Amino acid sequence: MPKILNYGSLNIDYVYSVPHFVQPGETLSSLARNIFAGGKGLNQSVAAARAGGTVYHAGAVGRDDSRVLLDMIESNGIHADYLQKRDLPSGHTIIQVDEHGQNCIILYGGANVSLTKEEIHHTLSHFAAGDYLILQNEVNCIEELIRKGAACGLNVCFNVSPFTPELLQLPLELCSVLIVNEIEGSAMVGMSADTDPYILIEALCSKYPQTSFVLTLGSRGSILRQKGKEAISCRAYQVNAVDTTAAGDTFLGYLIYMLSCGEDGGTALQTATAASAIAVTRKGAAPSIPTMPEVKQFLAEQRTTVLTDRI
Ligand code: RIB
């Protein structure tokens, strides 16, 4: 079975419950504060591990403030052999969650953006062709990670989030899988964000013909277009959201795990969609991510099929 290496961010999330997002010039009292382990990278690692994968998380945390992050790694059986400790603050966020479960996030990179090329080369030398490398845009040295990962024959899976225009200068054509939302995907091909998603995903596949695409459409669902195959569409399950933080990371971790097991695209997409549906019904980032038995039970309880011809 291929190994999954996530070279990604780990953040301490300071989550404030608010009646609405704070406005310019406003001082807003929060209703509650919670501190959770998070970061796109760590959330995705936890999802892939809870799905059943053999997961290695590489990156960097602060030496003095990272207990909550290390506990999450250890309690999920994630290998930390290539996780560095620095005399820096860990990456952290300030997250507002409103009464509809929507969030907005301020990110401080901290130790996440202290990666070195030497560490990357050392870490990747322990992985083999066919293994999976998951990346997001919350660490530095992304270009090195993509180039070196592809040169080692790893399946490079890049979640282009949070999106910045500089990402377009990266060698994205070397990625095996790109995970994008409508705004990110349309920016990559110079289209408007309200372009029909099927036209958009075809444009992405034309520009990057060696790459599989996952187009996420928020509460509408997602589309998977594996290289050389037809698009597969999946609607989102209807659930009562209390906190959407990490829903996308849960989806991605499950999807990559399922694809790494050789599961067909439809099964992988439906399972990942179910996992993220459960995650939004729970508070926090990594703590909200379900285990595979929970996802299987959720799927068994559903009466409607979410796989569809068109979203
Ligand atoms: O995707 C959710 C994550 O984004 C949060 O856990 C936060 O740390 C930010 O990185």
Q: Which pLDDT does position 304 carry in this prediction?
A: 85
Model pLDDT for residues 107-152, shown as the tens digit of each residue: 999 999 999 999 999 999 999 999 999 999 999 999 999 999 999 9
Q: How many whole angstroms from 261 Cα to the centroid of ligand 1?
A: 26
Q: How many whole angstroms from 302 Cα to the centroid of ligand 1?
A: 28
Contact in structure between 123 and 82 (CB atoms under 8 Å)? yes
List residues bridging with 38 in a β-sheet: 11
189 phi and psi angles, rounded to 5 deg: -120, 10
Write the CATH number for 152.
3.40.1190.20
As averages over each run of 10 residues, the pLDDT of the chain (311 residues) reads: 97 97 97 96 98 98 98 98 98 95 95 98 98 98 98 98 95 98 96 96 97 96 97 96 94 98 98 98 94 98 92 90
Q: How many whole angstroms from 63 Cα to the centroid of ligand 1?
A: 20
Q: What atom in ligand 1 is closest to the CA of residue 285? A: 6
Give the predicted TM-score (pTM) of the model.
0.96
Q: Going by CA atoms, what residue is nearest to atom 7 of ligand 1?
A: 39
CB-defined site of ligand 1, < 6 Å: 9, 11, 13, 38-40, 43, 93, 105, 107, 138, 245-246, 248-249, 285
Q: Which pLDDT does position 25 carry in this prediction?
A: 97
How far apart (Å, rounded) are the C-alpha atoms in residues 270 and 221? 10
Contact in structure between 7 and 127 (CB atoms under 8 Å)? no
Q: Which pLDDT does position 192 carry in this prediction?
A: 96
Q: How many whole angstroms from 206 Cα to the centroid of ligand 1?
A: 31
Contact in structure between 28 and 233 (CB atoms under 8 Å)? no
Give the count of domains, the chain. Answer: 1
Q: Going by CA atoms, what residue is nearest to atom 10 of ligand 1?
A: 39
Average confidence score pLDDT of the chain: 97
Candidates 249, 223, 254; CA nearest to 236 is 223
Domain boundaries, position 83:
4-308
Q: How many whole angstroms from 43 Cα to the centroid of ligand 1?
A: 8
Q: Which pLDDT does position 119 carry in this prediction?
A: 98
Q: Which pLDDT does position 274 carry in this prediction?
A: 98
For helices 197-207 and 182-189, what crossing angle results, to 10°? 50
